[in-house]
Amino acid sequence: MPRMLAENRLIGALIAYAVLGVLTYLTITDHTIRGVTFAILALFAVKSVLRRKDVLREDKNEDVDSAAN
């Protein structure tokens, strides 16, 4: 996957998580449920960032392998 496309997808995902966080804050009044929802959104955001790094590392390894052949 091209690097620019991966960055655009990550930015889009993080913006979506931020929007969901704001909507959660505005609509859920129970502090316990709100906290759990924020925790789940944070886990998804961390997963997205870690997955992006993993994909970029795979692309770098493929480039090294193709240059060696």
**In the chain, what percentage of residues exceed pLDDT 70?**
78
Q: In the chain, where are the structural domains located? A: 3-68
pLDDT tens-digit readout, 35-68 = 999 999 999 999 999 988 877 777 666 655 566 6
Identify the three-state secondary structure at position 30: coil
Longest dimension (CA), the chain: 59
pTM of the model: 0.73
Token pair for residue 1?
């996957």
